[in-house]
Structure 1
Amino acid sequence: MTISSAAFSLEEQSLATIERKFEEKRKLAHEREEELFGIFRGELTGEERLALKFLYAYMPLNDLADYDGELFLKHVRTTLDIRNRVPWGNRVPDHLFLHFVLPYRVNNENIEDSRGILYEELSERVSHLSMEDAILETNHWCHEKATYISNDVRTVSPMTLIRTAIGRCGEQSTLAVAALRSLCIPARQCYTPRWAHSDSNHAWVEAWADGAWHYIGACEPEPRLNQGWFSGPARRAMLVNTRVPANYLGPEPLTLAHEWYSELNLLDTYAPVRNITVRVTDTTGTPVAGALVWFHVYNYADFIPIAKLTANESGEVAFRTGFGDLYVQAWQGDSRTEAKIRVGDSDVFSFVLDLKPQTEGILDLDMVPPPVIPDSEADLVSAEERALHNDRVQEGASIRKRFEDTFLSEAQAAELAEELGLPVERVWPVIRKARGNSREIAAFLQEQTAEHGQWPLQLLESLNDKDLTDTFRTTLMDHLTGALPYRNDFDEQIFISYILCPRVLFEMIRPYRAYFQSTISADQIERFRSDPAEWIRFLENKFEVIDDLSFYQGSATPAGSYRLKKGDGASRDILFVASCRSFGIPARLHPSERMPQYWLNGAWQSAEFKSGEGVPAARPESGKLLLLRDTDASDDMAASYYLNFSFARLENGVYKTLVYARNKTDVYDEPFEVESGYYRMIAGTRLKDGTTLVRLTYFAIFPGKLTKLPLTFRQQPIDIPIIGEVDRSWTFTLSDDVSKPIGEWLNPKGIVLAWIEPDREPSKHLLREIGELAGRFELTGTKILFAVGDSGWTASFNPAAYEDLPSDTSFLRDVRHSALLGATSQTVVNTLGLPHVLVIDDQGRIRYETSGYKLGIGREALRIAEQLAD
């Protein structure tokens, strides 16, 4: 039965579910009843009341902890008002409005009152357009506001991204979704959780217009909908999904129907799909109902789960995926099994749980991604259409560049440093990283340096780069004044890193020291400082851990978690560390295990919170792991954590990968201190076509013992074929408008020639990789040439800004991409996209060629360059 009212047309069952879940959330958040639910005692329309209840019903726990009802009420009223203003508002069905317009949250970003601000920015630009054209125009606006940069996993808010003008794809898509929703255009953030053919992942946006969903690359406009540099890679995806904070009953296939959110499987839009079933039995053949089944792809030297499902009463799970390889783990209790499957081989795969985990031995396997699928002719854009579009892109980049020019400059940072008596070489990096927040950071230094010396600067230097873009003076003052009373109690480095620094994991930094110092009595704080274990017991009595209510773990702020007295396990651990620092107790999350620890009697102690049985959850004793170098490995197979190897400990049926610095290379120098248990090491060699040669090594670590383990990689002989020969008439233009054919660039040690789009994510990855490998490229003597087409020379592109590249690097203009089209076909450019990379030997012969998005191109090109140099 459908109930139509002045509010929304919803099934009676849906209304009942919303009401039930709303009441559950109200009980959970009783500690903040007035702040959150006091708004319901005011005057509300039927629409406002139901919209608010819908938001509260599916609200993550961290939002109940950190925000007040007035924010949500204003958001609802603004959104309903916009729906009545835009010309298509009455064409958006209620179920799409509730799930893809009304929500205030996109990812794990900080929530701000931004909907009305975004609407005012965009409304005049789109009021005369169709919904489809409004989507395209909104993306041009997003491009004017931000471009891509790789950074940490915390997602900044749309307003912060606008303030800083740079962000990763998850942040760009968060901005684009928020902007589209501000116009009452249904929108959702889409992810391929991890690529199968390349490391990393990607996020983009789907938007609905008059009955159909379309995709766009966020902040990366194209002439038409359903186009983007990632279209080709997405055809090789094993999953594309989006997360809806509700029990969504739409037409899209579901990967997961969780009690508090739904995961939609959108792969059909992008790639060929196959429905597979995994059947789990025990050794007697009996189906194992409730078995956990995780589907993994190889990515960043690890098996990363892209879907986590639970077997039904028949011991089965169904999964809709692409035509590549998956690594599947299934377990229940102490019984488990794991194996690779090739999706194209069958519709049904059987797994038998075994009580004995594998504890030793080596297993080699190949992980093969789905094949490349070319673009269709219908997707191609005419030259005239592309030229008009490029003009818009140039204009957008100029607008963004003019805004970036308002940030404090290096000269202004030097003036500030001189004024305050601070080292300019330390002040400028802080100001530079703060970008659009640079004046706020400068004001903090101006206000506090006279009284506190270099401590305000030390505080800023202790933060992550991204923190400098969205941390303000009120917050900084709380942490500075709340920490300095303890500065003489500890070694300076301990004090700076584990008391002064407010950053714990990837939560939003907010004030919390004054809150804890005033909420907890001085007598209690002194007791906790003498015996931090007493604070652990205190928290256990006050705080309830609820892990299955929110997808993004550890997102709540410490003060919010404590006020609510509830949170997920990660938020509890962050709360513990933050409160300890507020009390003057050095604390941290263990660098590789992520467990909370405190400093006592000159050593780190684990914070052992009680398990479900009510006793402290003791950690296993430690042992040591010494990795032994593979003496037969070539130089290009140098070990690098998360690049080509990682290791994980078996815990409760699943392997938990230990966290070390990405690209850590000093892995043989001294033993790793790790907890005892069963381990699996993954070593992978990624091939040019995306296939990975994987080696799994199983081993055990024993308490107090040293385990020595060879780290070996499967290798494929380096093939340096002669693919073709350059046309020596390919002509490039230098910065001084002098033209020069490629024949004059030929170098005795070879050339890496790469056509790039500097503002696009794939090319930015290549530039970063070659920068990271600059020293080894310089040893080869290889010349590096980056060719940029006319459309790439935007106002935001400054070749001089790439300071980390090898010294023998030049940026060239390829007018109308004439040289590129001489080097490869238009079909290759359209299907795979840029970068297009060649390695050319001293005789002008092409010895390596690749196109499109893939991490690791820089390393592949280096391998060839080193062989040619030898």
Structure 2
Amino acid sequence: MIMNATIQEGINMDVLEQKWQQKRKWGEKREAQLFAALQTANPPLNEEEERLLKHLFAYMPIHDLANCDGEFFVKHVRDSLKVREAAPWGSKIPDYIFVNFVLPYRVNNENVDNSREVIREELMDRVKHLSMKEAILEANYWCHEKATYIGTDMRTVSPLTIMRTALGRCGEQSTLAVAALRSVGIPARQCYTPRWAHSDSNHAWVEAWADGEWYFFGACEPEPVLNEGWFRAPSTRAMLVNTRVGADYTGPEEVCSDHPWWAEINLLDNYANTKKITVKVVDEAGKPVANAIVGFQVYNYAEFYPIVEKKTEANGEVSLTTGLGDILLHVRNEQGWGFSKVSVADADTFELVLYRNPELPSEVDWDMAAPAGHNSDSEVQVSDEAREKHEARVKEGVQIRTGFEAAFWNEEKSAELAKELQLPTDRVAKVLITAKGNGDEIAQFLKENKAHGEWPLRLLEAIREKDLHDTFRDSLNDHLAGALKHTQYQDNKELFDAYILNPRVYFEMIAPYRSFFQETVAAADQAKYQDNPAALVAMLQKEIEIVEKVDRYAGMGMPAGTYQLRITDKLSRDICFVAMARSFGIPARLEPFNLNAQYWHEGQWHDAAFEQAAQKHEEVFAKGTLFFDKVEQDSDQVAAYNQNFSVARLEAGQFRTLTIPFGEKDVYDRPFEVLTGQYRLTTGTRLSSGDVLVRCSFFTVEAGQEAHAPLVFRAEQIEVPVLGELAQADLSVFPGADKAITIPASGAVFAWLDPEREPTKHLLRELRELKIELDSWGGDIHLLVGDDKIMGELDTKGLPSGAHYTMDIGNAFSKQIQSTLTDIRGIELPLVVVADQAGQVRYIYEGYKLGIGADILKTVMNMK
């Protein structure tokens, strides 16, 4: 059927045609791979199919023009239309909803694959006889059977990879859930709080459309009803909840970005108390500034992160609906920049001055308040029968998933292969066990390349752990064979393995590229680049056109596609350079702090001077040395990068955080080679309330000089009041106890957990990270799991020595605690209670936030 008037009204066809033609122009060097399918499709495309294909092409990222082929998109459009026609709810879905929330072939920045087809085969028969709301719930039970939570790096793997490994972070779990729903024709979208205001990190979940309304749920974490999830309470403290649409969106929600190639939709009103504020940007003379970029920034991970950036109108104003907390407003354009910390609740309009050369203070202190949040009274009541049925489904899902995981490679099986291949047992076991459901692929690669001895294993050890989940033999064989052609640096294991053998450059998807470059580039040119790598830089600077701010995520172009397309963002261009250099036997990398492309030549690293045409090389890449100084202070915080401090360089009017390894604590008396320029050092003391005591220090790094940045943390006034009391009767029902429990002199922690939920896994990780400090404290840590929950694979490995798991039979202890401590509801887990030797309760926290471990430590070390 031809799209009706709804879609015609929802899409500006003139804008669509203009953007389609622009993408057609950008993709002309891959014309045959991308666009020939529009003419050669069998059967020929009808009007509706052609229009939807143009829509996909018009708004797709440039890196998809480089990485994908047109046949994929033709099949995707036709499959989506077939599902819409076949699904019982297909006719209910308005065209603009279908185009924006069913048709899109990607959810986030995951690798594109045929996951929709695979999922549909498994899921459709389970949902096609249900109502839309029931189908959404059933789809999430299916997702729960496939994956559980694990914290991983920023690269988003595909749904098929999540299904293969049974693990994923929240952004990957929600990608799987959205793909699952769209595969059966149900509109769905991934929702993010870009960064929490009351807690470090962020979170992603899913909204699905049913019968005219949007409902939320936690991906791979099923509930018996919709609009429930452990993140419900934290979301009331968010400063923004949004979703991204690849279109000029004209739906009813507020569009909180004005980007020409995508739209970000503000969904915060569905979760939190909000307020619409206006920011008026003026110059130093007080005149409005148009087209200035205003960043609305929240403190998170010791940096100020822009949750939204918007351009000012002709009157110098921008508006945003946000939460009732504190934000840092940061404005920039070609003429200058400026910033101001504001409290949203204080006013409706805030003035922000853009200075040509701002005079920076040596330091400034800010108290950043997080939104207070609120309790919702709209919880859906669930009958005991429905709750029991749900818990049974959850347990069944865990059994299905653990049964699948049982087939993964283990120590015994890995040892047999290591013996067969005459390779070190521990090293073989590590890569095979880490590979999870991709273990057979990795094992086959090792077997096929037995003649190469240790080299295949060294290649596997060079890539990241997540790469073992979704890198296949075609890629591995390409990189092994291509790297072993070069012998110049093979005796230098550290240099060769990391910067020639290793196919991983940044966070792009690993794909074959060495044979492509070795066959495409003339042998004489390869030899020239080996002798003079700067010539490779010059060639790419001439051949590749840079287009920024079209793709939401930079650095996603795979090297071979980038080289074929000859148009990309700077980071993808730099990744392409590194890949080509390694293909030609030249050690290359992205410099770890500033991500500048570098090559190894004549015994040292050299910066690839891509910007040399604009400025002299010495000006672009001049460096100095930065030292972080330890000072005597009241605060007892241990410095940890991106946990309580960060350092950022001023670049084009905005501060870019340096990529020092996350959590790095070895920072004192250590030289960091950094680019010259102005810097901001940010330290933060996160309070139990979620508020933060921030100090920002500003300094300059001169060429060839040392700069010293004292790491000073503002001291928290720690109070540990008595919040209640555990009576002897409370402790007598402690599970499995023959007599009343005695709390040791140091005190005790009681934590009720739900092992299948992400918040529990965060808490356990934090306890492991604080093992040394909590062992020094020496109290008991009782980790309790109700017998209606699933213990899963919980163990005490890496936990403080006083920690142990116990089943709370019949939730007897939990119920007793709740009756004693009336301030807790017992609904959200984890529930953490800290008590002193006298049984006085000194800390209570219910539900999710990062930093509960730190709260526990502060409490037990300050109890009197």
Return the TM-score normalized by structure 2: 0.96
Mapping of 1:35-50 within 5 angstroms? 35-42=33-40, 43-50=44-51
Contact 2:237 2:372 in 1 (8 A): yes
Contact 2:607 2:621 in 1 (8 A): no
Aligned to 2:200: 199
Aligned to 2:83: 82
Contact 2:200 2:300 in 1 (8 A): yes
Q: Structure 1 residue aligned with 2:778, among 751, 760, 781?
A: 781
Three-state SS of the structure 1 residue aligned to 2:318 is strand
Q: Which moved more, 1:390-399 or 1:607-616?
A: 607-616
How far off its partner does 1:257 sit?
2.8
How far off its partner does 1:284 sit?
1.2
In structure 1, how many angstroms separate the alpha carbons of the residues matched to 2:209 and 2:352? 40
Aligned to 1:855: 850
In structure 2, how many angstroms separate the alpha carbons of the residues matched to 1:610 and 1:831? 58
Mapping of 1:599-610 within 5 angstroms? 599-610=600-611
Question: Is 1:693 equivalent to 2:693 in the alignment?
Answer: yes
Q: Identity of paired residues, percent?
A: 47
In structure 1, how many angstroms separate the alpha carbons of the residues matched to 2:10 and 2:860? 67
Partner AA of 2:33 in structure 1: E
Partner AA of 1:31 in structure 2: K
Contact 1:532 1:598 in 2 (8 A): yes
Q: Which moved more, 1:193-202 or 1:724-733?
A: 724-733
Question: Is 1:10 equivalent to 2:8 in the alignment?
Answer: yes
Contact 1:834 1:851 in 2 (8 A): yes
Q: Structure 2 residue aligned with 1:815, among 809, 816, 824?
A: 809
Mapping of 1:26-425 within 5 angstroms? 26-42=24-40, 43-376=44-377, 378-425=379-426
Aligned to 2:667: 667
Partner AA of 2:315 in structure 1: S
- Note the alpha carbon deviations across 1:423-475, whole angstroms, 9 max, x for none: 22211121111000011111111121x31111111111111111000001111
In structure 2, how many angstroms separate the alpha carbons of the residues matched to 1:615 and 1:628? 32
Partner AA of 1:767 in structure 2: L
Q: 1:829 to 1:18 in 2, by over 3 A?
A: farther
Contact 2:733 2:812 in 1 (8 A): no
How far off its partner does 1:299 sit?
0.2
In structure 2, how many angstroms separate the alpha carbons of the residues matched to 1:591 and 1:728? 56
How far off its partner does 1:57 sit?
1.1
Aligned to 2:741: 744
In structure 2, how many angstroms separate the alpha carbons of the residues matched to 1:612 and 1:213? 51
Aligned to 1:466: 466
Q: Which moved more, 1:719-728 or 1:551-560?
A: 719-728
In structure 2, how many angstroms separate the alpha carbons of the residues matched to 1:611 and 1:209? 55
- Note the alpha carbon deviations across 1:20-41, whole angstroms, 9 max, x for none: 2222111110011111111111
Three-state SS of the structure 2 residue aligned to 1:628 is strand
In structure 1, how many angstroms separate the alpha carbons of the residues matched to 2:316 and 2:692? 31
Mapping of 1:408-447 within 5 angstroms? 408-447=409-448
Q: 1:659 to 1:483 in 2, by over 3 A?
A: same
Q: Which moved more, 1:24-33 or 1:725-734?
A: 725-734
Mapping of 1:390-539 within 5 angstroms? 390-448=391-449, 450-489=450-489, 491-539=492-540
In structure 2, how many angstroms separate the alpha carbons of the residues matched to 1:12 and 1:823? 54
- Note the alpha carbon deviations across 1:683-713, whole angstroms, 9 max, x for none: 0000001000001111111222222232111
Question: Is 1:805 equivalent to 2:799 in the alignment?
Answer: yes
Q: Which moved more, 1:77-86 or 1:292-301?
A: 77-86
How far off its partner does 1:409 sit?
1.5
Contact 2:555 2:571 in 1 (8 A): yes
Partner AA of 1:536 in structure 2: V
Aligned to 2:859: 864
Aligned length: 859
How far off its partner does 1:18 sit?
2.2
How far off its partner does 1:361 sit?
1.4
Mapping of 1:583-622 within 5 angstroms? 583-610=584-611, 613=614, 618-622=619-623
Partner AA of 1:14 in structure 2: N
Q: 1:581 to 1:164 in 2, by over 3 A?
A: same
In structure 2, how many angstroms separate the alpha carbons of the residues matched to 1:816 and 1:307? 47
Aligned to 2:21: 23
In structure 2, how many angstroms separate the alpha carbons of the residues matched to 1:672 and 1:380? 56
- Note the alpha carbon deviations across 1:826-856, whole angstroms, 9 max, x for none: 9866587211112222332222222221111
Contact 2:639 2:645 in 1 (8 A): yes
How far off its partner does 1:789 sit?
1.5
In structure 2, how many angstroms separate the alpha carbons of the residues matched to 1:146 and 1:196? 28
How far off its partner does 1:750 sit?
2.2
Q: 1:743 to 1:258 in 2, by over 3 A?
A: same
How far off its partner does 1:676 sit?
1.7
Aligned to 2:830: 835
Contact 2:749 2:834 in 1 (8 A): yes
Q: Which moved more, 1:829-838 or 1:331-340?
A: 829-838
Q: 1:463 to 1:791 in 2, by over 3 A?
A: farther
Q: Which moved more, 1:274-283 or 1:42-51?
A: 42-51
- Note the alpha carbon deviations across 1:243-291, whole angstroms, 9 max, x for none: 1001111111110132111110011111111110000111111111111
Gaps of 5+ in 1: none
In structure 2, how many angstroms separate the alpha carbons of the residues matched to 1:632 and 1:489? 48
Aligned to 2:646: 646
Contact 2:733 2:740 in 1 (8 A): no
Return the TM-score normalized by structure 1: 0.96
- Note the alpha carbon deviations across 1:64-116, whole angstroms, 9 max, x for none: 10111111111111111111111011111111111110110101111112222
Contact 2:489 2:495 in 1 (8 A): no
How far off its partner does 1:808 sit?
2.7
How far off its partner does 1:8 sit?
7.8
Partner AA of 1:338 in structure 2: F
In structure 2, how many angstroms separate the alpha carbons of the residues matched to 1:412 and 1:743? 47
Contact 1:766 1:855 in 2 (8 A): yes
Q: Structure 1 residue aligned with 2:765, among 763, 768, 772?
A: 768
In structure 2, how many angstroms separate the alpha carbons of the residues matched to 1:524 and 1:211? 60
- Note the alpha carbon deviations across 1:480-501, whole angstroms, 9 max, x for none: 1111222442521000111111
Partner AA of 1:27 in structure 2: K
- Note the alpha carbon deviations across 1:132-167, whole angstroms, 9 max, x for none: 111111011001100100001111111110010000
In structure 2, how many angstroms separate the alpha carbons of the residues matched to 1:617 and 1:139? 55
Q: Which moved more, 1:119-128 or 1:142-151?
A: 119-128
Three-state SS of the structure 2 residue aligned to 1:786 is strand
Q: Which moved more, 1:214-223 or 1:700-709?
A: 700-709
Partner AA of 2:789 in structure 1: G
In structure 2, how many angstroms separate the alpha carbons of the residues matched to 1:91 and 1:166? 34
Q: Which moved more, 1:368-377 or 1:226-235?
A: 368-377
Three-state SS of the structure 1 residue aligned to 2:12 is helix
- Note the alpha carbon deviations across 1:618-662, whole angstroms, 9 max, x for none: 424222222221322444x01111110011111111011111111
Contact 1:79 1:115 in 2 (8 A): no
Contact 1:733 1:812 in 2 (8 A): no
Contact 1:732 1:813 in 2 (8 A): no
Contact 1:832 1:853 in 2 (8 A): no
Partner AA of 1:724 in structure 2: G
Q: Which moved more, 1:679-688 or 1:485-494?
A: 485-494
Three-state SS of the structure 1 residue aligned to 2:755 is coil
In structure 2, how many angstroms separate the alpha carbons of the residues matched to 1:313 and 1:579? 45
Three-state SS of the structure 2 residue aligned to 1:78 is helix
How far off its partner does 1:395 sit?
1.0
Contact 1:609 1:617 in 2 (8 A): no
Aligned to 1:542: 543
